[in-house]
Amino acid sequence: KGQYSFNAGIINVPDGVTVNIFNNKSGTMNVQIVDIMGRKIKTESFYAGLGTTSKSYSLLKGIYIIQVSNNNNEIISNKVIIK
């Protein structure tokens, strides 16, 4: 697949994660957080302009999949461990 119109950096912070989205096109972004058992913990859609948008999420200890997507079906997923 060619280059995505965005990139996502997921940073562990105390008690959660910060998701930094670097957008080449403005538009709707979607963040979904799923725990290791497959339960949706958080789903959020929001408008992100050109450049960087940051979102922070509080999470309990555990293993999660963070999925960031846009309306062009471009998806970036990362596993995070909250200790």
User: Hey, CA dihedral for 49, 54, 59, 63, is it positive or negative?
Assistant: positive
- What was the pLDDT predicted at 4? 84
- As a three-state string, the secondary structure of the chain is CCCCCEEEEEEEECCEEEEEEEECCCEEEEEEEEECCCCEEEEEEEEECCEEEEEEEECCCEEEEEEEEECCCCEEEEEEEEC
- What was the pLDDT predicted at 2? 57
- What was the pLDDT predicted at 37? 96
- What was the pLDDT predicted at 22? 95
Per-residue pLDDT of the chain in tens (83 residues, 90 and over written 9): 457 899 999 999 988 999 999 999 999 999 999 999 999 999 999 999 999 999 999 999 999 999 999 999 999 999 999 99
Question: Do the strands 75-82 and 16-23 form a parallel or antiparallel pair, or are they unpaired?
Answer: unpaired
